[in-house]
Amino acid sequence: MTRFTFVLFALGMLGMSGCGDDDEAAAPASSGTTTVNLALSEFAIAPSPAAAPAGNIKFVAKNNGADVHEVVIVKTALTAAQLPKNADGTFNEDDPAVSVVNEIEDIDPAATKELALPLVAGHYVLVCNIVEGTGATAESHFHEGMFVDFTVQ
């Protein structure tokens, strides 16, 4: 190969190194994990922010209430108010219209617990499905309205 041909070949390869799949060029750089703070109280779950980008999401649940709480992460097309219920007023975690992704269990008053997991885009509901007491005195946190819609974009 002559020196001239080699130089042209090298310049051509250099020029091609800028070419690539358009999808790769348009993809945003990985920003790591998105943190979503969850303020828990009787009987509310307040996420901040109220939506997050798809990818790794770390839920940080702080129990500001006097009761033990939990956060069940549910993927569903249903709104929080439409979630299926059991006879005792709890959320039916086994209904085919929902998919329980994961949960943060037994968050004591004044305690904070974390859960990091990858979530795909879609509609989710965050639920506290704790029941206190038994029989006629049982109190379902879900029945009391401790749930919130959450969007992963």
Distance CA 48, CA 37 (A): 5
Please state the pTM of the whole predicted model.
Answer: 0.78
Q: What percent of the chain has pLDDT over 90?
A: 73
CA proximity to 126, closest of 96, 95, 104: 104
Residues whose CB is less than 8 angstroms from the CB of residue 28 and which lie 6 or more positions away in sequence, other chains included:
none
pLDDT in tens, 95-133: 999 999 999 999 999 999 999 999 999 999 999 999 998
Instruction: Map out the domains of the chain with their CATH numbers.
Output: 33-152 (2.60.40.420)
H or E element: which one contains 100? strand 98-107
Contact between 64 and 107 under an 8 Å Cβ cutoff? The reply is no
pLDDT in tens, 48-74: 999 999 999 999 999 999 999 999 999
Residue 1, pLDDT score: 46
